[in-house]
Structure 1
Amino acid sequence: MILDNLHKKQSEFSDLLVIAFGVTVAMWTIGYLCRLPILTIPSHVLFILMILCILAGGFICGRYTQRGLQTQIAIAGMISLLNLLILGSLLSGDNPNQIVPSALLWIPGSFLVTVALISVGAVLGNRAPYSGQSAINWTGLFALVACAATFVLLAIGGLVTSYDAGLAVVDWPNSFGYNMFLYPLSRMTGGIYFEHAHRLFGSLVGLTTMVLAVHLQRTEERKWLRKLAWLALVLVIIQGILGGLRVTGRFTLSTEATEPNILLAIIHGVVGQLFFGILVAISVFLTTTWRSNQPAEERKTASTERGLAAILVSLIVIQLVFGAILRHLAHGLLIHITIAIIVMSVAITCGVRTWGLYETIPVLKRFGFLLLILTGLQILLGIAALIATGVTSASPPTLFSAMTTTAHQSVGAFLLACSVGLSLWTFRLIK
């Protein structure tokens, strides 16, 4: 009952944030995939998918919140505002920072269309209202939306590195003299698309993190968790600056190519993963199970599980550092492989133990099973990446090599998230 009341208090705005940011992240992800240079998705298919995303948001609003038109307008407004970060690329003129006259119609028009679609979806959702007995943990879901957005950003960043497109746009925070949010979509081709899309998605992740941090200051009672949210915000700001300086090597608005800073590129890659880990931790702390009165079970093996999980997290972070060095400098392959064997051994040990020894604790059992699956998948992807790229290959990346190396990096991020979650749950559920 106490948790239900708490969730109801937090859902005053949390449900709106989940739907608005969730729909936006879904739209951006689909849009990015459909516009990839390696794909040829027709524009009308992309348009239909965008409509379905907004309708789905309206359906969730109608089914799970039972809110009225005022809330639907608020959600549509947030989606429209967030999408302005991309809409500017469609409304930009031929000259830098010039907006086409039709922008005066596009901006309010996109808002009205979004309102209409959200309302239609809400009507459909109202026909099948949520009948669950417990209140929905919207704040926890919002943290998961932030995690999902960050994971997509990490994958996008992986493609930037795989296609060696990190320097495709030579200036920052502008893009070839344009305001970053007004760079024409028609000019986003080849490596420019990979790098510029990475910047745009990074801005969405930064904004999502900022809103999450501010929201937790208003709704969260645990002071240490509010501070952790501020830490996440500071880290994502630093990460954005690192990403820019990685291109220019210094603070400048010049469009001339400058000497890139490879060290910052490596730090940028590692900090991004650490930021993701912090968001995962915040998500765990916001779960209903963590906040419940469920006592930790007495287990003689508790200290062993905690120690193994903590070691696993540390090893994965170390592996991330050497992985970033290998990606950017093509050095340290043997060290990377050696640490991978150690990580694999510890991960399998953790996975088998938590999957097999804790039948009465479903959370630990699920994390153990997931850890085993991810470890096996990561081993296969690592072998595939090694075969695809070769030890000293200097040729332009192929589609297969780019996909395998990016998938290897992305699963590595997922593995970090799983190990962080498992480590935290060993402190909460067993003693």
Structure 2
Amino acid sequence: MESLVHTDLSGRPDVVLRFLLKHDAALVEAARPSTVIKAIDTIHKEIPKSKKERRILRLHINMESQNGSFGKALSLLPGGITLPSDPTSLTGEETDECLSFVEAAYRSSPMTDSMALATFASSVVLNTSASPHHRLRAADIGITIASNVCNIELANMCYLGLQLSEKELLESERTQKIALIYHTVFGSFEKALQLAEAILENSKDVRSTTKAIIEFNRAGYVFRIAGKPEKARASLMLGYDIAREIDAPRLAEYPIWQLSNLCLEENDLDAASVWSAKLDELARSNGDEPANDYIHSHLCLMAIAQGKNKEAGIQLARCQRALTGMRPLRTVAFTVALELGVGLMDRRWIPNPPLINAAMALFEKTSSFCASDFLAACIGESLVRLDRTSEAKTLLFDYTTKKRRELSATTAFLKTTLERVENASLSN
């Protein structure tokens, strides 16, 4: 990567172009995208597009995706990309473009079908003639989507379809981040925690790359839901610091979001609001509004926690506008939870039956796959308002004793609801 920096500084765009074409595969593996993007910008400013432009474009798209700039990646992709049902017909270059499309469309296009994208990713995983790099990339994309559509069959297809031993999946540097997300949401949480511990323990030996950011972020989430807040903070701060070091602001969004959630769960609203303000600032400047739905959801959650009715309503409206597309199941579930949460801010508000029924149906589909405390809390509060306290008590007991995957204490929202439901049941 230092060689690329020196080449770029040489003032010879023709030399930079030759360097990029010669080392494109190595630059993808190096996972320092901002440096490569700057070099690509240099050659585009100084020399006309060449017959090698498709290779440079492919590298540019890959770098923007690595940098978390999925809207930019999507805009760079050539038109007319179709995802074949049989990926064995694709060349390596075509496979790379299709995977870039899947990842970028999932993140930044509200009109795409998440399941169709994930199904294609899984088909690449199962294609043994594809390169190991493409199969691993497809597995990571597929399991990420599976975690947000709460589909364990799809996750298993992507994870087990790699046909690697569990030992290799857990211990190889190439596969650790894939094993981490799989075991966090679907597999053995004990294995996820072991991986997170190993990642944090070896943090001093890690190079500053996008891969390291993703691993620290995923480890931080594991520690957060395992009830290890200090380790969660340490891991998430490592991800945040590296993102700033390598000039990847989009990759700084996730650890900021998680740090704010961590503070919110501990009922430390002041600290949570500091991180939320940073998140809001990044969202305003990232130029990728379709990818900001989870940020608006978090800002709505913060407003609910702070009792800011007007702000909560504004953010909820933004979240609901995003649902005009085909959003992942988890996004839909959390938006419905926010609708209940905003309504419950008004003590006179009574949830209508279709809304509470929709919330309960979504809860049934998502509550075994992490991050359902807020939906559980809002359903419980709503059922109490509807004088269905016994039903609320049963639902929350089933969730906290059988479905809830987190080992951490219940969040502040859910703790308050559990106390309210218990008090209401005693008074009846």
TM range (shorter): under 0.3
In the superposition, the TM-score normalised over structure 1's length comes to 0.28
In the superposition, the TM-score normalised over structure 2's length comes to 0.28
Q: Which has the higher contact order (CA 8 A, sep 6+)?
A: 1
